[in-house]
Amino acid sequence: MLIALLPGDGIGPEVVTEAKRVLDALNIDGLTYEEAPVGGAAYKTLGHPLPPSTLDVARRADAILFGAVGDPDCDALERHLRPEQAILGLRKELGLFANLRPAKLFPELADASALRPEVATQIDMVIVRELNGDVYFGEKGHRTTATGLREGYDVMSYNEAEVRRIAKVGFETARARKGKLCSVDKANVLETSQLWRDVIIETSAEYPDIALSHMYVDNAAMQLVRNPGQFDVIVTGNLFGDILSDQASMCAGSIGMLPSASLDDGKKGLYEPIHGSAPDIAGQGKANPLATMLSAAMMLRYSLDLPEHADKIEAAVAAALADGARSPDLGGSMTTAQMGDAVLGKL
């Protein structure tokens, strides 16, 4: 089975290196790897953030382990050449429409959360984020108003097929957990959200065993820090899911802890930490690699049918944390490589 390794920019290569060490330590038969440049790193060497050669590796692979893209040097480029277009392009080109972002607090990290420990320890949820539509992929541009003002615009839309397929993932995810699904939208203001809500309700007829609720996104942002334990599965659109998952990560201790899986309608997936390239700490050995290791565990579970190896990674991460392994984001002083050593020592 072929794994595409796309380290990317900033701390991306640093965290992917540690995740790869963990994968190597598992000695899994039949895994092969191909590495390719992506994001700013690819723009600087090959002139495009998602060069055809990289897209080709990603297409051929059974799964993709991705670091992060984003480089301040590239922020002034035309949009289609910016590093972030690489991850958007991969999601779209490969039909990776279902983004699972589990947020669970390792009990050892209760003191690392920005929330009071008794509130934080309740969090154990999955955000199911739609990844191929919404305002991210609508028509966008700049124009001049009738009175001569510069104006930017981005069109938000979802069609019913797009909502139905992510709704099913949301319901199925809830069915495999505690049976509670909360759909997050802004139906009090947005027509896109009204259609979203209508289709979620229609789809719920196929899932009478699931307790469905609806919440406006502003309230959901508040409830996530007031009482994160109330959520089992959240299903939401691309933009709201992006924002809420960064917020949920702080309930779980740090943005450096949250993994993700971006799945198509089969077994193929791209696996990445939810965080970005963190230019503010890149090259300093300060990045927490655990989210990327936990993403590798999700890859073993979802795309490679190796759940026992996924369990081993997750148990080793928990054991390292129990022993006191802490990178700076978790209130400690261990380097990225030392965090890797700590997990390897537990495998």
70 contributes a contact to ligand NAD by CB under 6 A? yes
Q: In what order do the strands lie in the sheet with 211-216?
A: 32-35, 2-8, 63-68, 269-271, 261-263, 98-104, 124-130, 233-236, 180-185, 211-216
Please select the residue that binds ligand NAD; options are 13, 170, 256, 340, rule is CB under 6 A: 256
- Which 238-267 residues touch ligand IPM, going by CB under 6 A? 242
Amino acid at 168: K
Query: By C-alpha distance, which of 76, 83, 109 is closest to 12?
Result: 83
Min CB(166)–Mn ion separation in Å: 17
Please select the residue that binds ligand NAD; options are 65, 174, 200, 255, rule is CB under 6 A: 255
* Cα three-residue angle 161-163-164, rounded to 5 degrees: 65
88 contributes a contact to ligand IPM by CB under 6 A? yes
Contacts of 31 (CB under 8 A, 6+ apart): 1, 3, 23, 304
314 contributes a contact to ligand NAD by CB under 6 A? no
Residues listed for the chain: 347
Query: By C-alpha distance, which of 132, 142, 137, 129 is closest to 156?
Result: 137
Please select the residue that binds ligand IPM; options are 3, 22, 87, 220, rule is CB under 6 A: 87
Fill in the per-residue mask, 268 to 307: x = in contact with ligand IPM (CB under 6 A), - = not in contact. Answer: ------x-x-------------------------------
Q: Please give the radius of gyration of the chain, using alpha carbons only, rounded to the nearest integer.
A: 20
Active site residue 218: yes
Contacts of 25 (CB under 8 A, 6+ apart): 344, 347
Cβ burial of 67 (10 Å; 0-12, 13-18, 19+) is: buried
Residue nearest to ligand IPM (CB): 84
129 contributes a contact to ligand NAD by CB under 6 A? no
Active site residue 186: yes
50 contributes a contact to ligand IPM by CB under 6 A? no
Tokens of 93: 């080109």
Please select the residue that binds Mn ion; options are 9, 108, 185, 242, rule is CB under 5 A: 242
Question: Which of ligand NAD, ligand IPM, Mn ion, none does residue 134 bind (CB under 5 to 8 Å by kind)?
Answer: none
Please select the residue that binds ligand NAD; options are 98, 105, 329, 334, rule is CB under 6 A: 329
DSSP state of 100: E
Which positions are catalytic?
A: 136, 186, 218, 242, 246
Chain contacts with ligand NAD (rule: CB under 6 A): 11, 15, 68-70, 84, 87, 255-256, 272, 275-281, 287-288, 291, 329
Chain contacts with ligand IPM (rule: CB under 6 A): 84, 87-88, 242, 274, 276
